[in-house]
Amino acid sequence: MSDSVLDSRLLTLGRTLGVDSGETLPLGVRLERIAESVATDTARLWLALAAISAQFPFVSDFERFRRDAALNGTVHALEAAVKHSRRLRAPNRSVEVRIVTGGVFVDVHHTSRTGLATGIQRVVRQTIVEWNDRTGVELVGWDPGFTGLRQLSAPERQNALYGSVPRIARASKWQLTIPYQSRYILPELAIETDRTARLQCFAEFSGNRTGVIGFDCVPLTSSETVGEGMSAAFAKNLAALAHFDQVSTISVAAATEYRGWKRMLGGAGLTGPEIEPLLLPSVAEQVSAPEFAEATKKLVEGSDPLVVCVGSHEPRKNHLAVLFAAERLWREGVSFQLVFIGGNGWHGDEFRAQLDTLATQGRPVRAISAVSDSLLWSAYRLARVTIFPSLNEGFGLPVGESLAAGTPVITSNFGSMKEIAISGGAIFVDPRDDDDVFRGLKAGLLDDELHARLVLEAQDLPARDWSDYASELWEYFEAVPGSSPSA
């Protein structure tokens, strides 16, 4: 690290702390002035270490630094941090820092760099679009090594908001962004090892207010259905969240899972965050006549009724049960066509093999991935019914989206899926009972009186849009934990 980079970091730190640490002063004097302001304050110690090293510390690094300050004095600890920073490898030794007081930082690292438009990304983008113009809000990501936060590039920001620039080169230069006396919000799932480890230290010691959207605890409660290593990565995510202030879950069912985890924290002497549910909205997007006509050509073959199943092809989504029920109905002579919409997921090989076998036998079934929003919403409207018999969901967007489009849904009789559809428009089934899934699909296809009633129920459901959700979520994160948002 060059003297000029160190000078810049110390000057920025001194300004934030309200002390003169200008580069014209000897290094020892500058560190003494900073040390006098920092003293033994935990949040200021974290800030000083992050600013001098130009990276968010791990818990072990911070504890070592704080103990050095307590045993040998804060000046000694700062001097040791400077020496260590001089030995950092590129590119971190040349990184400059900016410290922002009183801001709101929304961490959308993964969303800003992915072309995925799955459940989590849809929630993130719909939410941050509503927050984008609020004063003090800054969308941030992480540097390539996950050492700390940085401002997004213009293409990353565009992709975070709209998903329109999915392939972006990694940043080669960046400035570390350090929140101080600010609010940090994580609306997506963070599972990268260093990212969650540094967030754990940040949440515990930095003094910033922290909030997160809690999607589900599926990697713990249904670990047999997730990809290799996901449960371990999610456990690290929870280790960080244990020190957050607030978790806003996307359903009551998800809150039940997170509250169960929170109760376990008592065994480790931890209080854990406040956990409050805020149900996601379900809003049908408009589709133009040309888009609808094009989608009809792509999705519908002939005059048989269409059944749509939306979701990634992973075991938890229970698509093999859908195929089994469909094959039983085809063998009984029931005519319909089945379209799966969603990308490939982990452990999806058996589903793909069974799908290919049925298609080879002439069954009217296929899978489509990487669809546009217009095609997805056209599919909901073209379907006689949709089917979503998932084994576990934090929310289950396809359930809410189908009902918002006015199309009845066959879904699981528990958890968030029942929570979403309890007011009408759904046929509930036991997803672990093949006979019950078969019964539900058969009723949805053949019982015209039931179908007509469900359509009316779906059309009469109360409307709540993403603007409402984003405002309620913002109000919750602004509230002091433990009080009502309106207090």
What is the C-alpha to C-alpha distance for residues 246 and 477, in angstroms, rounded to an integer? 7
Q: Looking at the structure, tell me whether residues 262 and 400 fall in a common domain.
A: no
How far apart are the C-alpha atoms of 51 and 31, rounded to whole Å?
A: 13
- Using DSSP, state whether 375 is helix, strand or coil: helix
Tokens for 203, please give them.
């949440």
Q: What pLDDT, in 10s, does the model give residues 356-388?
A: 999 999 999 999 987 888 999 999 999 999 999
Share of the chain above pLDDT 70, in %: 97
Q: Are 382 and 444 part of one and the same domain?
A: yes
User: Minimal CA–CA distance to 248: which of 51, 437, 470?
Assistant: 470
So what's the pLDDT on residue 335? 98
Burial class from Cβ neighbours inside 10 Å (0-12, 13-18, 19+) for residue 427 reads buried
What does the buried/exposed string (b/e) look like for 243-279 if buried means 16 or more CB atoms within 10 Å of the residue's CB?
Answer: bbbbbbbbbebbbbbbbebbeebeeeeeebbbbbbbb
Identify whether residues 221 and 320 lie together within a single domain.
Answer: no
pLDDT value of residue 171: 80
Decide if 340 is inside a domain.
yes
Whole-number Å distance between alpha carbons of 316 and 318: 5
Q: What is the mean pLDDT of residues 206-223?
A: 95
Local confidence band at 238 (pLDDT 50, 70, 90 cut-offs): very high
- Residue 221 belongs to some domain of the structure: yes
Does one domain contain both 60 and 118? Answer: no
CATH number at residue 250: 3.40.50
User: Quick one: 13 and 72 in the same domain?
Assistant: yes
Does residue 481 have a cis bond before it (omega within 30 degrees)?
no
Per-residue pLDDT, averaged over 258-282, amounts to: 97
User: Best-predicted range by mean pLDDT among 75-89, 220-234, 297-311?
Assistant: 297-311
Last residue of a domain, one of 88, 121, 136: 88
Token pair 């930082």 in the structure block, residue: 105
β 104-107/97-101 pair status = unpaired
Reading the block at residue 35, the tokens are: 């040390």
Please, which residues have CB within 8 angstroms of residue 166's CB and are 6 or more apart in sequence? 113, 114, 115, 159
User: What pLDDT does residue 257 have?
Assistant: 97
Concatenated DSSP letters of 18-64: T----TTS-HHHHHHHHHHHHTT-HHHHHHHHHHHHTSPPPHHHHHH
Whether residue 257 sits in one domain with residue 308: no
Q: How far does CA 203 lie from the centroid of its chain?
A: 17
**Mean pLDDT: which of 79-93, 343-357, 367-381 is highest?**
367-381
DSSP conformation letters of 117-152? -SHHHHHHHHHHHHHTTSTTEEEEEE-TTSSSEEEP
Q: Which of 181, 199, 179, 180 is CA-nearest to residue 189? A: 199
- Around Cβ 340, how many Cβ atoms within 10 Å? 23
Q: Residue 343 sits in a domain of what CATH number?
A: 3.40.50.2000
Residue 56 domain-assigned (yes or no): yes
- Is 307 found in the same domain as 220? no
| Out of 159-168, 238-247, 249-258, least confident range | 159-168
166 three-class SS? coil
Confidence of residue 89 (pLDDT cuts 50, 70, 90): low
283-310 residue pLDDT tens: 899 999 999 999 999 999 999 999 999 9
CA dihedral sign of residues 225, 231, 235, 237? negative
Enumerate residues 6+ apart whose C-beta is below 8 A from 361.
Answer: none
Nearest alpha-carbon partner for 171 in 157, 198, 152, 192: 152
Q: Among 41, 67, 88, where does a domain finish?
A: 88
Q: Helices 27-38 and 74-86 sit at what angle, rounded to 10 degrees?
A: 120
Whole-angstrom Cα distance, residue 128 to residue 186? 11
321-342 pLDDT, tens digit each: 999 999 999 999 999 999 999 8
pLDDT of 175-209, one tens digit each?
999 999 999 999 999 999 999 999 999 999 999 99
Which own/partner contact pairs does 257-262 have at CB distance under 8 Å and 24+ positions apart?
257/216, 257/217, 257/220, 257/221, 257/394, 258/214, 258/217, 260/217, 261/217, 261/220
Q: Does residue 155 have a pLDDT over 80?
A: yes
Q: Is residue 487 part of a domain?
A: no
Flag whether 94 is in a domain.
Answer: no
Per residue in 53-71, pLDDT tens? 999 999 999 999 999 999 9
Q: In this structure, is residue 465 part of a structural domain?
A: no
User: What is the predicted pLDDT for the residue at 348?
Assistant: 82
Residue 143 pLDDT level (bands cut at 50, 70, 90): very high
Domain co-membership, 123 together with 81 = no
Same domain for 231 and 314?
no
pLDDT at 225: 80
Q: Which residue range forms the structural domain that includes residue 313?
A: 289-459
Helix (H) or strand (E) holding 97: strand 97-101
How many domains, in total, are found in the chain? 3
In a domain, 484, yes or no: no
Tell me which of 88, 116, 136 is where a domain ends. 88
- Asked whether the CA dihedral 313, 318, 324, 328 is positive or negative, the reply is negative
**How far is it, in rounded angstroms, from Cα 101 to Cα 160?**
24
Say if residue 128 is in the same domain as residue 70.
no
Asked if 262 and 301 sit in the same domain, the reply is no
- 112 with 261, same domain? yes
Average pLDDT over residues 253-276: 97
Task: Specify if 486 maps to a domain.
Answer: no
